[in-house]
Chains A and B, each alone.
Chain A
Amino acid sequence: MPIPELEKPIIKGLIQKDKVVIDGLELDGTWNAFMIERTQTGYDPSVWDEIANTVEGNTISLCWQCGTCTSGCTMREYDPKYSPRRFIDLARKGDKQSLMELQDSLWRCVSCQKCTHRCPKGVLVEEVVHAIHNYMLKHGLVKKDPGTVFDEIFLEAVMKNGGRISELVLGGASAKAGFVTLSIRDLIAMSGPLLRSGLIKDLMKPSKVKNWDRIKKVLEEAMNEEVTPE
């Protein structure tokens, strides 16, 4: 008789990895399954310090955990795990493990700014949440989320095509990254009007921004500049 507990692990926090290398040896078989640590054995105080020292995150120390931000949050309706209050709390304590577990929620802010306007302590919540997410990305603690991937594709398309997007390049790259793009039927439906109006020329060969070579340099310089709060 099969034992249901063995057949279907019901243990919360079990993670399985396709490839595990420990001390230079690759593990195989059943050794690739791990339990996430079930006790919290320490907090990393450097997380708070690092986030508070960024331009976006410098209001994190004002938070007193009242929950005004989260109770009115737009995103929370769609993702019950999305809680700016909690992200701030975990970041200030330095509970990286818990933040890693929330990585599918952490990036979802739509920047409606309700939280920032309502905060009784003047925390710029939207910016702080982005600062926390940026911290996690910078230290490689979370996988690259769809929002960041799309941002990168978009920026790349703009920089490649002389200061404006090319729908073809952007669509192609998005499809490659696994995002839902236009179907063949949509493309066929769109091609008629595009051909008739002559806009197809712009689509195939987009025109560049004036003085693009000079503007590009300014943009690149700005992107490479590291900004630190006074």
Chain B
Amino acid sequence: MAGEKVLVVGSGPAGLSATKELLNMGVDVVLVEKESYLGGTPKKLKYSLLFPELRPASEVIDPLIKTVEGKVKTYMESIVEGVKEEGNGFTVSIKDKSGKIQTEKVNAIIAASGFEHFDSRRKYEYGYGIIPNIYQISDVEKMLSENKLVTTKGTPPKRVAILLCVGSRDATVGNTYCSRVCCAVSIKQAMEIKERIPDAVVHIYYMDIRTYGLMEDKLYWKSQLEYRVGFIRGRISEFMRGPNDTVIIKGEDTMNLNRALVVPYDMVILANGMELGLGSKQVAKALGLEFEEHGFVRPLDPDRLPVQSTRKGIFLAGAITGPKTISDSITEGYAAAMKAYEYVTKGVWEESDFAKRKVEVAHH
């Protein structure tokens, strides 16, 4: 079995865990990463604490990077330009920042190029990028990890509003799915803010709270019992600039139908969801993969074969197939590594006709 080689695209939690497992099984790995560092989105956005255990993100990501760094052939600041089938493998052309193209012969490919956060500027009525003191959860992670959670006045915010489902569950931007992690991330951030600024008022505006599975008591209940984070049901419809760089929200408390809400806050955080992003779209195009109805990459069978793509020899891991938590992505990385190992050593490729079926989607 000597000489088997697998290309891993992306070095986030999924890509790193897949690389690690393949190395452990004695398979050569070529890693392609668009950025100049390993670690993916958790490193790029400088994640502070991870839900639900509230442990530093570096505790999870750094060991993964350590086991991989320097042990595989890595193309940094490079992208996969194209793929040609050759024999029972692929010839991949990899383009670096300066435009230089190198080729690599591999037996299988794992696409783990992940997601990008929704850009809240597309919801113009929220005023992100125009009104000061409106941030996204993806900005706040960095502010928290660098301990610089301040308003434009340079003082810690005393009144904070967090709005959920920005760019998720919203037909006006074409995203009809739930991004799964934003509820948990927002509640985690609310608790982190209350931990640092105990006299701050934090309100979460929600439609549903989806701290699914084992996160219910650790996040949703705990935030109310121990931190007194306020939950107000209702989606804010617009933000206005108030005096002294405050942000005035306009909303409705749908739990107690009586009056419209016009409330000022020092800081507003938009819980922007997940999208496939341009990076992964380019990867999917270069590898010749199909998209499913939400814009993510379609697996061969979402239930039975979730880490196999619709193209033989290419495997998928992490948020490229839909919104996922870090632990989900790591699990999928392991699964994809195992499937790729079976494929390159024994040629195992299971078939399913699910992807070919015409799917009726409920349109809004």
| Residues of chain A whose beta carbon lies under 8 Å from any beta carbon of chain B | 37-43, 45, 48-49, 52, 61-65, 86, 89-90, 92-93, 95, 97-98, 101, 121
**B230→A95 contact, CB < 8 A:** no
Produce 1/0 per residue, B224-267, CB < 8 A to A: 11101011100000000000000000000101101111111000
Q: A90-B256, A98-B256 are in contact. Are A39 and B225 (CB under 8 A)?
A: no
Residues of A within 8 A of B263 (CB): 40-43
Q: What is the chain B residue whose CB lies nearest that of A95?
A: B256
Pick the residue among A40, A62, A89 that contacts B225 (CB under 8 A).
A62
Q: A45-B201, A61-B228, A92-B230 are in contact. Are A98 and B221 (CB under 8 A)?
A: no
Beyond the given pairs A43-B230, A93-B253, 11 more chain A to chain B contacts, judged by CB atoms under 8 angstroms and listed by A's residue number, are A37-B259, A38-B260, A39-B259, A41-B264, A45-B228, A48-B228, A61-B226, A63-B224, A92-B228, A97-B259, A101-B258
Q: A61-B225, A62-B224, A64-B220 are in contact. Are A40 and B259 (CB under 8 A)?
A: yes
Pick the residue among B226, B256, B259 that contacts A89 (CB under 8 A).
B256
Q: What is the chain A residue whose CB lies nearest that of B199?
A: A45
* Number of residues on chain B facing chain A (CB within 8 A): 21
Q: What is the chain B residue whose CB lies nearest that of A85?
A: B255
Q: A61-B225, A64-B224 are in contact. Are A42 and B264 (CB under 8 A)?
A: yes
**B228→A49 contact, CB < 8 A:** yes
Pick the residue among A41, A45, A89 that contacts B255 (CB under 8 A).
A89
**B255→A40 contact, CB < 8 A:** no
Q: What is the chain A residue whose CB lies nearest that of B227?
A: A61
Give Cα A103–Cα B255 distance, bound, in whole angstroms.
19
Residues of A within 8 A of B232 (CB): 93
Distance in angstroms from B292 CB to nearest chain A CB is: 34
Q: What is the chain A residue whose CB lies nearest that of B200?
A: A45
Residues of B within 8 A of A65 (CB): 231, 255
Distance in angstroms from A45 CB to nearest chain B CB is: 5
**A40→B261 contact, CB < 8 A:** yes
Residues of A within 8 A of B260 (CB): 38-40
**B259→A61 contact, CB < 8 A:** no
Give Cα A64–Cα B224 distance, bound, in whole angstroms.
9
**A38→B259 contact, CB < 8 A:** yes
Most chain A CB within a 10 A radius of its CB, from B226, B259, B260? B259
- Could you name 11 residue pairs across A and B whose Cβ atoms are closer than 8 Å? A38-B260, A39-B260, A40-B259, A42-B263, A42-B264, A43-B230, A43-B263, A52-B228, A61-B225, A64-B221, A86-B255
